[in-house]
């Protein structure tokens, strides 16, 4: 018997690979002699780089860079030498969580730190870069990335290094002559354009401290106009261009990035469909399974692959909403948090609760096995 364990993180408690370890521990006692395939997954959000680097047998490397407000930091990304693939998250450098200790200044926040990580991957000889762009602190349209990669901006014929505050003074942008060729795949699960009522500034700006929408819109539009005229690219209306404060736009305009669903990106890179087909029983899960999980979350993506392949699928979560839509996706749903246990205690004991909950459903799990 072959059991695939393809779970996401239990946010705030366990990363995906540690949760998978506890699930395997309990299942080994129920199915002695079974072959286990551990495949931590993610959906493009926090934990994506770690899950994919683990699944691809890569290594962690660290790079000196800066946060969204320019403070020096070290940020990690995954490196898979065999395929020259880099796996990273923009939030590792330019994320909102990195600047929660200071007053948010969105007119100064930029993606330079993310650009430094991308440049580091290119220097290593990356042929492919996979990047998740959730959790940003920025609203600069990828201006910082462009500067880090060596794009030249001009002001009245003179070299010029613009900030958001001075961007309107730029009257030309020039592509670097030596930018290496690389496939850039961007995990993006929103469809907002760069500008307008559904654009980066109006929809996501307020959580980053943006108040003057017109000020930011004017600068993002100017950047897009420069890219259209001088670089011959204009992805401002592509669904997802407005993701991460316009970084979706920037990665398409400055590095030729391709935007894909976060789960689809992860699934393709780890060969998930084939691994589901090879399994007799599939186990997935994350911290919470509810109606929102149906909107592109990893465990439901795994469940849909299992259904398509005719495999039994079990969902395990800290808490489970008993909804008809969710029940349709799974053969068995297991919630691990005891009703009377305080949430903070349950989060401290997630590993233990995973093992005990799976053991408590031993009879049903055995009935699902071939």
pLDDT of residue 182: 96
23 with 103, same domain: the answer is: no
Under a CB-based contact definition with an 8 Å cutoff, are residues 245 and 23 in contact? no
212 with 286, same domain: the answer is: no
74 with 161, same domain: the answer is: yes
Q: How many domains does the chain have?
A: 2
- Is 166 within a domain? yes
DSSP string, 2-19: EEEE----BTTTB-HHHH
Q: Which domain holds residue 81?
A: 48-262
Under a CB-based contact definition with an 8 Å cutoff, are residues 241 and 194 in contact? yes
CA atoms within 13 Å, Cβ hemisphere of 296 = 15
In this prediction the pTM is: 0.85
Question: CA Rg, the chain, in Å?
Answer: 22
* CATH value at residue 93: 3.90.1510.10
**Rounded mean pLDDT, 139-164:** 97
Structure confidence by residue, pLDDT tens digits, 258-307:
999 888 888 988 899 999 999 999 999 999 998 878 877 899 999 999 99
Instruction: Measure the CA angle with vertex 271, ends 326 and 283; round to 5°.
Output: 35
Q: In this model, does residue 236 exceed pLDDT 90?
A: yes
Backbone angles phi, psi at 200, to 5 degrees: -55, -45
206 with 315, same domain: the answer is: no
Structure confidence by residue, pLDDT tens digits, 251-272:
999 999 999 988 888 898 889 9
Q: What is the dihedral of CA 320, 323, 324, 328, to 10 degrees?
A: -20
Cβ partners under 8 Å of residue 366, min gap 6: 30, 31
pLDDT of residue 11: 86
Structure confidence by residue, pLDDT tens digits, 345-367:
999 999 999 999 999 999 999 99
**Rounded mean pLDDT, 319-340:** 93
237 with 310, same domain: the answer is: no
Q: In this model, does residue 44 exceed pLDDT 80?
A: no
Give me the percent of the chain exceeding a pLDDT of 70: 100
- Is 275 within a domain? no
* Residue 202 to residue 205: CA distance in whole angstroms: 6
226 with 130, same domain: the answer is: yes
The owner of tokens 């613009």 is 162
Structure tokens at 209: 């401290």
172 with 253, same domain: the answer is: yes
253 with 286, same domain: the answer is: no
**How many C-beta atoms lie closer than 10 Å to residue 215's C-beta?**
14
Structure confidence by residue, pLDDT tens digits, 199-227:
999 999 999 999 999 999 999 999 999 99
pLDDT of residue 46: 77
Average per-residue pLDDT for the chain: 94
DSSP string, 138-189: --STTHHHHHHHT-EEEETTEEE---TTTGGG--EEE--TTPPP-EEEEE--
147 with 225, same domain: the answer is: yes
Instruction: Measure the CA angle with vertex 79, ends 125 and 187; round to 5°.
Output: 95
Q: Which of 234, 262, 290 is the last residue of a domain?
A: 262
206 with 328, same domain: the answer is: no
Structure confidence by residue, pLDDT tens digits, 103-147:
889 999 999 999 999 999 999 999 999 999 988 999 999 999 999
């Amino acid at each position: 018997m072959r059991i695939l364990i393809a779970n996401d993180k239990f946010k705030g408690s366990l990363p995906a690979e540690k949760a998978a370890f506890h699930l395997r521990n309990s299942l080994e006692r129920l199915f002695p002699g079974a072959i286990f395939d551990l495949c931590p997954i993610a959906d493009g959000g926090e934990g994506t780089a770690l899950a994919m680097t683990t699944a691809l047998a890569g290594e962690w490397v660290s790079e000196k860079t800066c946060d969204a407000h320019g403070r020096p930091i070290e940020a990690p990304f995954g490196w898979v030498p065999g395929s020259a693939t880099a796996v990273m998250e923009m939030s590792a450098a330019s994320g909102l969580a990195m600047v929660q200790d200071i007053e948010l200044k969105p007119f100064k926040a930029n993606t330079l730190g993310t650009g430094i990580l991308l440049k580091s991957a290119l220097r290593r000889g990356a042929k492919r870069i996979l990047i998740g762009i959730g959790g940003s602190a920025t609203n600069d349209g990828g201006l910082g990335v462009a500067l880090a990669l060596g794009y030249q901006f001009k002001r009245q014929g003179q070299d010029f290094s613009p900030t958001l505050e001075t961007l309107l003074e730029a009257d030309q942008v020039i592509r670097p002559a030596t930018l290496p060729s690389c496939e850039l795949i961007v995990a993006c699960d929103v469809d907002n354009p760069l500008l307008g009522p559904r654009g980066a500034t109006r929809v996501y700006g307020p959580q980053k401290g943006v108040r003057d929408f017109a000020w930011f819109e004017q600068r993002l539009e100017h950047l897009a106009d420069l890219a259209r005229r001088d670089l011959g690219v204009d992805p401002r209306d592509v669904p997802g261009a407005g993701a991460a404060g316009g970084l979706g736009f920037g990665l398409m305009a400055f590095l030729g990035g391709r935007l894909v669903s976060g789960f689809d990106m992860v699934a393709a890179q780890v060969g998930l469909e084939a691994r589901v087909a090879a399994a007799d029983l599939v186990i997935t899960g994350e911290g919470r399974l509810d109606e929102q999980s149906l909107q592109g979350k990893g465990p439901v993506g795994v469940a849909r692959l299992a259904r398509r392949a005719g495999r039994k699928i079990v969902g395990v979560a800290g808490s489970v909403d008993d909804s008809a839509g969710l029940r349709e996706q799974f053969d068995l749903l297991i919630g691990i948090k005891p009703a009377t246990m305080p949430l903070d205690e349950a989060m401290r004991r997630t590993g233990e609760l995973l093992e005990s909950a799976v053991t408590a459903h031993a009879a049903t799990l055995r009935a699902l096995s071939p």
